[in-house]
């Protein structure tokens, strides 16, 4: 137990510099990329001033006056220094970039992710409102992937070279070649009332009359809206895990301990599912943490395809809108999940392989 405790302490301490490195790089890239929120606000103001003859304000940030002047390349309009300084202060651009990062990091330590520029709401509240949807599809996709890919990989290994193995391999690699969001778009065209069958809704997580339904109808409504996104969520990792399971089992079936088990007269099913199966799960166990991080953080392209308001779509729109507080808040959430997901992989690895000992 002492070795396990010390190992976990070391791994948790190691996540701190890793987290700092991730956030420093992402924060500095966001700050130096052109077209930031301050630049966009200045463009809006100058455009509005040119259209309105010099009258304007910058959203809900200030009532500072903006007057017309000369020397600007946007219709002869310029923004007074006082208004410019107030805008810089609102967007946090009045301090050096390293001081901005320290200030942001100190707020994160206090669980304050800031306020969205676009929604004018706390980022933490926005993430919490969308977190259940991403967790729902994340765990559902995770469960479907493992519950299908492991048995399929075992069947392919047992029937290696058979027509079943060949046909399933074709389907698996065709699915692997199509991104999840693209496959989701195809499903919508085929089954979402496009050119073919109107079987499933075009998108979103619930129907418009969801609040008026009873409990059972609400369950059916969500299930109806879940089918196509869940398939698209799963297709990305489907081929990788299936082939990995098949190859791992075939490799273990050729080991000495398996041949010894057969020599002792044990049945094929017992040898496969009791002896070879456990060691064959080790490669899948090592990646379970990364999959958890990927699924829970959400897939923004799939959420965009199905118009699902999860965390992935929230972060995607935040980057397009240069809503830095949301983008950074999502980075914090996703980064912590991935870091601790790796720790979960080690635990699962040790559970599957009893030879692993933490020191």
Of 15-24, 48-57, 157-166, 169-178, least confident by mean pLDDT is 48-57
> Residue 217: pLDDT above 60?
yes
Please tell me the distance from the alpha carbon of residue 133 to that of residue 128, in angstroms, as a whole number.
10
Of 20-34, 36-50, 147-161, 232-246, least confident by mean pLDDT is 36-50
Q: pLDDT tens-digit profile of 8-37?
A: 788 788 888 988 998 999 888 888 877 777
Please tell me the distance from the alpha carbon of residue 241 to that of residue 125, in angstroms, as a whole number.
35
Of 29-33, 148-152, 227-231, least confident by mean pLDDT is 29-33
Classify the phi-psi angles of 267: left when phi > 0, otherwise alpha if psi is within -120 to 50, otherwise beta: beta
Of 65-79, 176-190, 269-283, least confident by mean pLDDT is 65-79
CB 60 within 8 A of CB 87: no
Count the residues in the chain: 359
For the chain, domain boundaries: 20-109, 123-352
Burial of 311 (0-12, 13-18, 19+ CB in 10 A): buried
Q: Compute φ and ψ for 115, nearest 5 degrees.
A: -120, 135
DSSP state of 210: G
Q: Both tokens of residue 34?
A: 């052109």
Mean pLDDT of 92-113: 86
Q: How far apart are the first and last CA of the chain?
A: 10
CB 226 within 8 A of CB 130: no
**Number of CB atoms found within 10 A of residue 123's CB:** 25
pLDDT, averaged across the chain? 78
Please tell me the distance from the alpha carbon of residue 231 to that of residue 99, in angstroms, as a whole number.
45
Q: pLDDT tens-digit profile of 324-334?
A: 899 898 888 88
- At the second CATH level, the architecture of 123-352 is Orthogonal Bundle (1.10)
Which single residue is written with the structure tokens 């897939």?
299
Please tell me the distance from the alpha carbon of residue 169 to that of residue 231, in angstroms, as a whole number.
18
Predicted local distance difference test score (pLDDT) of residue 67:
38
CB 36 within 8 A of CB 29: no
> Residue 71: pLDDT above 60?
no
Predicted local distance difference test score (pLDDT) of residue 59:
44
Please tell me the distance from the alpha carbon of residue 278 to that of residue 272, in angstroms, as a whole number.
9
DSSP 50-106: HHHTS----TTS------B-SS-TTTTB---HHHHHHHHHHTTTTS-HHHHHHHHHH
**Number of CB atoms found within 10 A of residue 52's CB:** 12
CA dihedral 155, 160, 165, 166 (to 10 degrees): 170
> Residue 60: pLDDT above 70?
no
**Number of CB atoms found within 10 A of residue 29's CB:** 9
Q: Both tokens of residue 280?
A: 């064959």
């Amino acid at each position: 137990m002492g070795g396990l405790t010390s190992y976990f302490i070391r791994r948790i301490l190691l996540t701190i510099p890793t987290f700092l490195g991730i956030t420093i790089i992402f924060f500095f890239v966001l700050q130096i990329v052109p077209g930031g929120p301050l630049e966009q606000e200045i463009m809006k103001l100058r455009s509005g001033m040119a259209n309105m003859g010099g009258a304007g304000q910058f959203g809900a940030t200030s009532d500072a006056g903006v007057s017309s002047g000369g020397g600007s390349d946007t219709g002869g309009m310029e923004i007074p220094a006082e208004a410019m300084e107030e805008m810089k202060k609102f967007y946090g651009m009045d301090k050096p970039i390293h001081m901005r990062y320290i200030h942001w990091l100190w707020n994160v330590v206090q669980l304050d992710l800031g306020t969205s520029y676009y929604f004018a709401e706390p980022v933490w509240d926005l993430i919490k409102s969308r977190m259940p949807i991403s967790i729902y599809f994340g765990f559902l996709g995770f469960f479907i992937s493992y519950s299908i890919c492991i048995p399929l990989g075992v069947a392919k290994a047992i029937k290696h070279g058979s027509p079943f193995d060949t046909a399933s391999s074709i389907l698996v690699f065709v699915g692997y070649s199509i991104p999840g969001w693209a496959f989701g778009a195809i499903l919508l065209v085929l089954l979402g009332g496009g050119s073919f069958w109107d079987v499933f809704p075009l998108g979103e997580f619930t129907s418009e009359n969801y609040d008026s339904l009873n409990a059972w109808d609400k369950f059916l409504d969500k299930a109806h809206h879940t089918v196509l996104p869940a398939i698209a969520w799963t297709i990305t990792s489907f081929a990788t895990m299936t082939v990995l399971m098949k190859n791992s089992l075939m490799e273990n079936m050729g080991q000495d301990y398996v041949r010894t088990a057969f020599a002792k007269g044990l049945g094929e099913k017992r040898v496969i599912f009791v002896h070879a199966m456990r060691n064959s799960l080790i490669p899948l166990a090592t990646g379970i943490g990364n999959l958890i991080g990927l699924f829970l953080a959400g897939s923004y392209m799939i959420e965009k395809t199905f118009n699902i308001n999860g965390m992935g779509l929230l972060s995607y729109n935040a980057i397009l809108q240069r809503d830095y507080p949301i983008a950074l808040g999502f980075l914090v959430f996703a980064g912590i999940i991935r870091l601790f997901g790796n720790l979960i992989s080690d635990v699962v690895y040790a559970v599957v392989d009893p030879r692993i000992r933490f020191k």
